[in-house]
Each structure stands twice: as C-alpha cells, then as structure tokens.
A and B are shown apart, each in its own frame.
Chain A
Amino acid sequence: MAEMDLVKTGVSGLDGILGGGIPRGNVIVVEGPAGSGKTTLGLEFIYRGATEFNEPGLIVLFEVSPIKMIRDAAQFGWDLPELERQGKVKIIFTTRSVLQQELQQADSLLLAEAARIGARRMFIDSLPPLASDPQNGQNGHNGGAREMFHTLVQGLHRENLTAMLAVESPGLERVRDAVPPVEEFIADTIIFIRIDDVQRAANRSLEIVKSRGHDFTMGSHSFRIVDGRGLEVYKRVQAPRGMSREMAASYDPTTRVSTGVPGLNELVNGGFFLGSTTLLVGVSGVGKSVIGLQFIAEGARRGERSLMMSLDETPAQIARNARTIGIDLEAASATGNVVVQYDSPQEIEIDRHFAQIERIVEEFQPKRVVIDSLSTYGSALGSSLRIFRDFFHALVALMKEHQIAAVYNHENPEILGMSSMAGEYGMSSLVDNILLLNWVELSDEFRLALTIAKMRANPTRRITCECEVVNGEGMHILPRHVPPAALPFGSYYGLVSRSPERHTVRTSIQRS
C-alpha cells in the first residue's frame, strides 16, 4: 500500500494528533469564535510550510490588513516580509466576492500569483459563518456564503492546494447543530476551536471532528498561543499514547529502589520496585514531603536520575525545606541528576501540564519521580473528578512505560486516623503500594505512625511502626523495641482507628 502524502502543519503537537499530518490537497476548515486563534493557526501553517517543509504558501486576507498580520506574526518570531522577499510567502488582500470570481476563472490572477511562487499551501482568512438554518438556502441571507463556499472548495480542489479556511463561528462556544452546516459536508478536514470558561479563566481547545483519508485522535485537546513560538497543542490527557504505554501495565519485579528512609526498606522488603506506584497518604505536615525528599536524595547519592514535580512549593522553598533535614538539593541538582520542577496549580491546564511532565520524563529519563501532591491536582481541577482520575491514570501509565519508581504524595484531611485511603478520588486500584502516615495521640503528645497498607505482589507485614522526623536528619523508622518507660506502638490496639487503647496484658508487648 502506497504511503500517504501527508502535509505536516508544523504546529507543535498538532501533527501528532493528526496522525502525522493532513492528506495533501485536503480543504481544511478551521472554525471558531473571534479571538480563538484561527488566524494564528493558519499563519503558522503557512510559516512552517515555507520555513520547515519548503512549501511556499499564499495568504488571502479579507479583513485584516497585511501590515497588521505581519506585525502580529513578528511577535512569534516569524519574519513574513523576509519570506515574501524570498518568494516563499505572498499575502494578498482581496474581497470574498473577488475571490469567488477568481476561483471560477481558469486564468485566475490569484492562482497565477500562487503558481508564481510555487505555492503548495493556502490560508484564507476568513469566511462568515455558514448557518445550517434551512431558510438560509438559495434565497436566504446566507445563501451567497454557501454558494461561495462551494465555488471556493471546487477551485481549491482543482489546483490541488492544501488550503486552510478560517470560518467564523457565531458564539464563544460552538454549539453542535442537529443539522451540520454546509461546510462540514464539503470540507475534507474540520477543526473546531473553542474558548472554554473554566472557573472564571478561559482555556483554548481544538477538536478535529473530521479528516478524510487518514486516522486522527478525536476529542478536545488544549492549546496555547505562546509568544515567540506560536501554537502549542497538547493531546488530551485521556488519549491513548501508543501500544508501548498501553502494554506497560506492570513493573520490574526484580529491581528494587531504596527508599532513603532509614528503617523503611526493611518494611518494604528492600525498597520499591522499578515501575511501581507508591502513594504516601497523610494529613498535612505529617512528613510525606520529607519521605519524598529523602527518596530523591537517595537517588542522587546513588547517581540515579530523579525528578521532583511540585505543585505546592517552588524549587527555592523545596531546597530550603530539604536543608532542614540535611539534604543539599541544590548541590544534587548541580550534578544534573536531580530536577525539581514546579508548576502553579492556579488555572492549571491538565493537558498542557501532562505534556510538560511527559516531555521531561522522555528527555531526562529519571529512575525516580516524586509528585507532590496529588491532592493539589484534585483541588486545582475543582469538581472534575473524572479528569483527575484520567490524569492520574495517564501519569501511572507514563511512569510504568519508563520503568520509573514513582512516589505520589496525597493529603488526607483526617488529622487522627483514617476512614479512607484515597478519599473520593478512587485511585487505590491503580496504586501498587500505599503507605499511611498518621498522627497518634498518646498521652499528651502526637506521635508519628507509618503503616504499610498495601504492597502489591510484594508480601510484607501490615504493621504500624513509629517513626520520627529529626531536625537536620530527616525521617527514620524507630526500632520496635523501645525502653519500657515509653511504651512501643505494640502496646496498643487501634492506633490508626482514631481511638487507640492500651493493652492490659504486658505479654503482648514482649511478643512484638
């Protein structure tokens, strides 16, 4: 079977969603409201074609003056006047009716200009909305636009140009009509651009609803318009990433990764497996981040690449916290084996955020990853529990594909004891190991307890151990035999159930 001739858009992330590109000669309709990014997308399609794929392009404008388009393009670092001088781009200002007439004429002046520069791409900005209202037929006020669209598409097919047409949609959000508008039948590829209101912020997303002649990833994908770069499209986090990731559902059951917490390795049979997912659950301040930092520091000590991804604290704050437990994170970072990445949880765009983690993991290839913390993702995503679960699922699959021992901190709101391990997030089934960190109130003090609640395919004793965080040293697990004056945890029932009770028979202490 002949390989399909695909036209790469060159837009970051878009070709991946399009399965490599758009079949040559397709007429692409980009539909969206004002300010959604249609013009920038079209402009980048032409710019990348001219600069990266040696495909000259023609830009046809009706409303925006070329001088403004040139100015706007310069913001992204795209020098259109230089490309015009090189004969790789031509910008022509005209009217819709002239364009329609031109495309009906074999000796079209417009197409002659396209031929003069050897154009393979065209961007037309923009056409009015073509409503699906049946009354807008031949006699309706939109009939002209429909007729023009037909003529336009036929003319473009004749010239075998891969053309992108920006079509204005009437509202901020594209409402799918019961009867699709005419351009959806005629165009080969249709991309909807939306501006979604998310908790008083506005996020851009695009969706490929149709593209003849090839496979593509359906659904709504986030994108941003970035100064100095152009569009960055982020595949929706739920979308499949290929067989290798789908198949990477297990971990290496032979290689263990030391936890870096004195005494903890013994409780987990020597360490976490490569490719395993470990959840540290506990109330704020209980020591989850401390364990995370010690896990990272242990990796650095062993010369293993480690990534700490934080939504809670900036790298400077994390480095300061690390110093208090005797970890020089800045020195570890300087060796190149540790990367501390921070992203603000405010107005987080989960597709973009996941793409960022994916890029770091693929480029940096860490052996250890700490995510601090999952609960911040939960609150940042608001009521979108489903999105959180999809994100976590994608994150786990990514880590398993790269055989990373990943530790996720998760804040449990209950200060004493726990009634649920992962709360409403329902992610326990995806997790291999769960370590519960609890405050236990005994006498007049809070003492710290660590319980191995789950160790998948890694049998161990489900015991609750006492541990402590020492200034300048970090966390360690206390020996189970403690001086009789301070009773060990083994002297009590129900330590994690909010109501510990002391044994009355001394022998139970001796047994442990």
Chain B
Amino acid sequence: MKGSRFQHLLASIGVLRHPCDLDLLLFFHRHPHALLTSDRLAAYVGYDLNQITRSLDLLTDAGLLKRSQNPTHAARMYVLQTPRTGWLTSLIDIATTLDGRRSLLDAMKEVSEVETSDDQSKPSDALSRTRRHRNVS
C-alpha cells in the first residue's frame, strides 16, 4: 500500500528514474547554490562519475537544475530550480526521513524494472516525461 503510494508519487513526477537522480536532487535541496566539480559531487553523493553525469544531465534537461557553462572552470555553479507545482516539497518531506528515502529508492527500483520491460516497446517515453516537467520558475 505504502509502496504503491511512493510509486504513484514518482510516476506523477516522472523525472526520477535512478536512485542517483533522487540523491542528487536531495543534495541540491540541501545545497541550492553549489560550486563544485563533478568529481567532488560524485564523492559527496556516493555514485560513480558516469552515473553522476547522467543524473546531472537528466535534472538539467528537466529544468530542475541550472548549471554554469564555462569550459575554463573546473567547477560548475549548480542552482536548484524550484518547480511551480509543489511536488518537490512533498518529495523532500518524504525523502528527508530515513524510512522515506529507503521506501522511495525501493519504489524507484520497482518502477525501473517495470519501465525496463516497457522501454523495450516504448523507447521515447522517458524523454517525453522529462520534457513535461520543464515548466519551472
């Protein structure tokens, strides 16, 4: 019952697919303006660099994150963008508790397994969800 509630929340958000996406979002909630290298981000959040890069791209494409683009700087300025809808607050409220975060990660895995089988038939579905959430302040 509880699990399905989290799955429903994740499905309505539509953006977060990998645990790293959630943890990165939580990190930027705690640090709304962060000037960091990807390496340092990977160390702070606890995922490998490739996954961090994918998750950063995902959050940026979804309009949840703004990052500076300057190749001469090793670090980038990341600024969390707050969506106009209140889902981020609901998500944070849940995810900032130990049980809530675990439940969300479990739900995410289940969704991911379902989507893996779905994605084989509908490859463009994730991208369309990402675009749906670009409406941010």
By beta carbon, the residue of chain A nearest B92 is A67
Complex interface bits, A81-111 against B, C-beta within 8 A gives 1, otherwise 0: 0000000001111110011011001010110
By beta carbon, the residue of chain A nearest B29 is A67
Interface centre among A66, A68, A98 (most CB of B within 10 A): A98
Sample of 26 A–B contacts (CB below 8 Å): A65-B30, A65-B31, A66-B32, A66-B33, A68-B30, A90-B33, A92-B33, A92-B34, A93-B31, A93-B33, A93-B34, A95-B37, A95-B75, A98-B35, A99-B35, A101-B75, A102-B35, A102-B73, A102-B75, A105-B73, A107-B72, A109-B35, A109-B73, A109-B75, A109-B76, A109-B77
A-B contact count (CB 8 A): 58
Q: Contact at B73–A93, with CB atoms within 8 Å?
A: no
CB contacts (< 8 Å) of B74 on chain A: these are 98, 101
A113 interface residue, CB < 8 Å from B? yes
B89 interface residue, CB < 8 Å from A? no
Residues of chain A in range 46-93 having any CB-CB distance to chain B below 8 Å: 65-68, 90-93
CB contacts (< 8 Å) of A65 on chain B: these are 30-31
CB contacts (< 8 Å) of A105 on chain B: these are 72-73
CB contacts (< 8 Å) of A110 on chain B: these are 35, 77
B128 interface residue, CB < 8 Å from A? no
B70 interface residue, CB < 8 Å from A? yes
B45 interface residue, CB < 8 Å from A? no
By beta carbon, the residue of chain B nearest A61 is B31
Bound CA–CA A67/B92 (angstroms): 12
Task: List 7 other contacts, CB 8 Å, given A67-B31, A94-B35.
Answer: A90-B33, A92-B33, A92-B35, A93-B33, A95-B37, A98-B36, A109-B73
Complex interface bits, B109-124 against A, C-beta within 8 A gives 1, otherwise 0: 0000000000000000
Bound CA–CA A92/B29 (angstroms): 12
Q: Taking the nearest CB of chain B, how far is it from the CB of A214, in angstroms?
A: 33
How big is the B interface, by class?
10 to 19
CB contacts (< 8 Å) of A101 on chain B: these are 73-75
By beta carbon, the residue of chain A nearest B96 is A67
Q: A102-B75, A109-B68, A109-B77 are in contact. Are A93 and B36 (CB under 8 A)?
A: yes
Q: Taking the nearest CB of chain B, how far is it from the CB of A74, in angstroms?
A: 15
Complex interface bits, B16-41 against A, C-beta within 8 A gives 1, otherwise 0: 00000000000001111111110010
Chain A residues proximal to chain B, CB less than 8 Å: 65-68, 90-95, 98-99, 101-102, 105, 107, 109-110, 113
Interface centre among A95, A102, A110 (most CB of B within 10 A): A95
Q: Contact at B37–A98, with CB atoms within 8 Å?
A: yes
Q: Contact at A94–B36, with CB atoms within 8 Å?
A: yes
Q: Contact at A107–B70, with CB atoms within 8 Å?
A: yes
A-B CB proximity, top 6 nearest = A93-B31, A94-B35, A98-B75, A65-B30, A93-B34, A67-B30
Bound CA–CA A67/B96 (angstroms): 12
CB contacts (< 8 Å) of A102 on chain B: these are 35, 73, 75
By beta carbon, the residue of chain A nearest B77 is A109
CB contacts (< 8 Å) of A92 on chain B: these are 33-35, 77
Q: Taking the nearest CB of chain A, how far is it from the CB of B101, in angstroms?
A: 15
Q: Contact at B40–A113, with CB atoms within 8 Å?
A: no
Q: Contact at A113–B75, with CB atoms within 8 Å?
A: no
Residues of chain B in range 41-85 having any CB-CB distance to chain A below 8 Å: 68, 70, 72-77
CB contacts (< 8 Å) of B34 on chain A: these are 92-94
By beta carbon, the residue of chain B nearest A60 is B35
